[in-house]
Amino acid sequence: MPERTAVILVSGAGGGVSGPGGIYPSLATKLATLFHIPVLRLDYRKPARNAYCVPDIHAGMDFLRSTYRVSKFVLIGWSFGGAPVFTVGSGGRKGQIAGVATVASQTAETSGIRTLAPIPVLLMHGTGDRSLSYRCSTDLFTGYGTHPEGNRELKLFDGDDHGLTKNSEEVEQLLLQFAVRCCDVALKEGGERDMKENLIGDEGEEILTMQEGHDLDNGEHL
């Protein structure tokens, strides 16, 4: 049986399941329907506590492996979510990780990025972020190093906020393309238009979606 890869989406210090700019529901729908990639939007038992959030991701990996016979994973985290995804990506299960992407990641508890190469990494951040400076992502980019077989990418969005709400559609597309490359799957015929379809909602709905998904709980803010 061919190797199958799944995607796990995690949020920030507030927990939640809608992600930055409320893109996780749309991203998950497109990965599952257009590419048949299993996707898990994972909330934490105790948000903002890496010691608990890392086992939560492990539990999600175990669930996907047993349910969908998955052997590889792409991890995507927003804000605090950078800590658990980089910890998992560089830990004892590193061999199961196909890629790691973050949006507006913190740098605390992210030292795992230093040993992550050659696993591909995508880092995105808004230069107007008032919660975590974009320099967090530039520091992570540097920390990944220049491994000869490594693949690191940094995308900065001028003036955007902590949730990249001004560029949510582009952020979703970049994460979608990154995940698909890491999963090594092909788009079904005629699916290019569906990839770009706006499932996030009208302008201004991004924050409402984040609120409804509880991504802005426990003091998390834009």
- Return the bridge partners of 97, or none: 73
pLDDT, residue 101, reads 98
Does residue 198 belong to any structural domain of this protein?
yes
pLDDT, residue 150, reads 83
Domain that holds residue 158: 5-212
Does residue 138 belong to any structural domain of this protein?
yes
202, pLDDT greater than 90: no
Does residue 164 belong to any structural domain of this protein?
yes
pLDDT, residue 82, reads 98
Does residue 219 belong to any structural domain of this protein?
no
CATH value at residue 46: 3.40.50.1820
Count of domains forming the chain: 1
pLDDT, residue 190, reads 60
Does residue 222 belong to any structural domain of this protein?
no
| Angle at 29 (CA atoms; ends 200, 75), nearest 5 degrees | 100
CA torsion through residues 190, 194, 195, 197, sign: positive
pLDDT, residue 52, reads 97
Report CA Rg, the chain. Answer: 16
Average confidence score pLDDT of the chain: 93
pLDDT, tens digit, for every residue of 116-174? 999 999 999 999 999 999 999 999 999 999 888 889 999 999 999 999 999 999 999 99
Does residue 221 belong to any structural domain of this protein?
no
Does residue 217 belong to any structural domain of this protein?
no
pLDDT, residue 189, reads 65
Task: Identify the H or E element spanning 205.
Answer: helix 205-212
